Amino acid sequence: MPHRILILGRHGQLATELQRLAPPAGFEIVALGRDQLDLREIDQISLVLRESAPSVVINAAAFTAVDAAESEPDAAFALNGDAPREIANACARLGAPLIHLSTDYVFDGAKNAAYEEADATAPLNVYGVSKLAGEHAVLESDAHAAIIRTSWIFAAHGANFVRTMLRLAETRREVNVVADQIGRPTWACDLAECCLGLALRALDRDPVTRGLLHFAGADDASWADLAEAVFAEAGRDVSVHRIATHAYPTPARRPLNSRLNSDKIIGMGFTPKPWREALAQCLLSER
């Protein structure tokens, strides 16, 4: 019987890319969506995981609507805090390692350099607080678990900034885009390969696959930089007006610095691409 890599959150950007990867010999990749496991039903998590008999679990499910979390904190904490706690506890009982995804939004953005794993957290919004609660729950469990913080994920599918810009280009010749928030755009395909590689190493209880890790694109960008690159790469004649964060108010505060230092995970052999290179490959796959 093959080893089973179980993915939670079947329809998300990361989960979609994970399902596209060819599993190594002797492994199968199985993904569960809300119709098979509604993570809001906490009492069902342990039962479904036990029936799924995973060798390792990748939790790519989350409440990711950052602004909506401000008015729906209970829903955000249910998916981002309570569910990871139960998933981690179930993994501990099953002896299955866990790869859990988190976010740059656990930081407040006040640092002048890229954030490292050991830096103090101070989320600015409900989403970030709920994801931090999930981190704590996983770390406090007895599961062999790695938490991967990532940022600014984009893919040729799903809901993300790149696809939003392409959609706007269908009807607009100019857009206003925030230029003072800086991050490291991350291609979901790169992230998926990293998660799968970590999952396989975790099966051997490699100690480096336990604790906090950062994986983000190799270089910096503002949202405006990314928008300009999308339009240029896609051949769309759209002008980008660079604006400050205060000129585009949103329900949730965003950190001005979302850069994550990935040196630790790069030292383990997982290297993210520069975001412009990844963007070109992503848009090529969309055509």
User: 133-149 pLDDT, tens per residue?
Assistant: 999 999 999 999 999 99
Confidence of residue 172 (pLDDT cuts 50, 70, 90): very high
Bigger pLDDT: 52 vs 22: 52
Strand partners, 186: 153
Q: What is the mean pLDDT of residues 95-118?
A: 97
Confidence of residue 286 (pLDDT cuts 50, 70, 90): low
Segment (H or E) for 129: helix 126-140
C-alpha closest to that of 240 among 229, 255, 250, 248: 229
244 pLDDT above the threshold of 60 = yes
What are the structural domains of the chain? Answer: 3-160+184-217+259-273 (3.40.50.720)
Please answer whether residues 252 and 69 qualify as being in contact, where contact means their C-beta atoms are separated by less than 8 angstroms.
yes
Q: Which residues are catalytic?
A: 127
18 pLDDT above the threshold of 60 = yes
pLDDT given for residue 179 in this prediction: 97
Q: For the chain, what percent of residues have pLDDT higher than 90? A: 87
pLDDT given for residue 37 in this prediction: 87
Segment (H or E) for 100: strand 98-103
Distance, in Å, from the CA atom of 287 to the CA atom of 217, rounded to the nearest integer, reads 22
Burial class (CB in 10 A: 0-12, 13-18, 19+), 233: middle
Q: What is the mean pLDDT of residues 168-185?
A: 96
C-alpha closest to that of 247 among 197, 199, 179: 179
Residue type, position 27, single letter: F
pLDDT given for residue 2 in this prediction: 78
287 pLDDT above the threshold of 60 = no
Instruction: For the chain, give the mean pLDDT.
Output: 94
pLDDT given for residue 1 in this prediction: 65
For 200, the 3-state DSSP assignment is helix
Bigger pLDDT: 177 vs 208: 177
pLDDT given for residue 141 in this prediction: 96
Token reading at 207: 């100690």
Of 31-40, 69-78, 130-139, which range is least confident? 31-40
pLDDT given for residue 158 in this prediction: 86
Q: What is the mean pLDDT of residues 120-135?
A: 98
Q: What is the pTM of this model?
A: 0.93
86 pLDDT above the threshold of 70 = yes
56 pLDDT above the threshold of 80 = yes
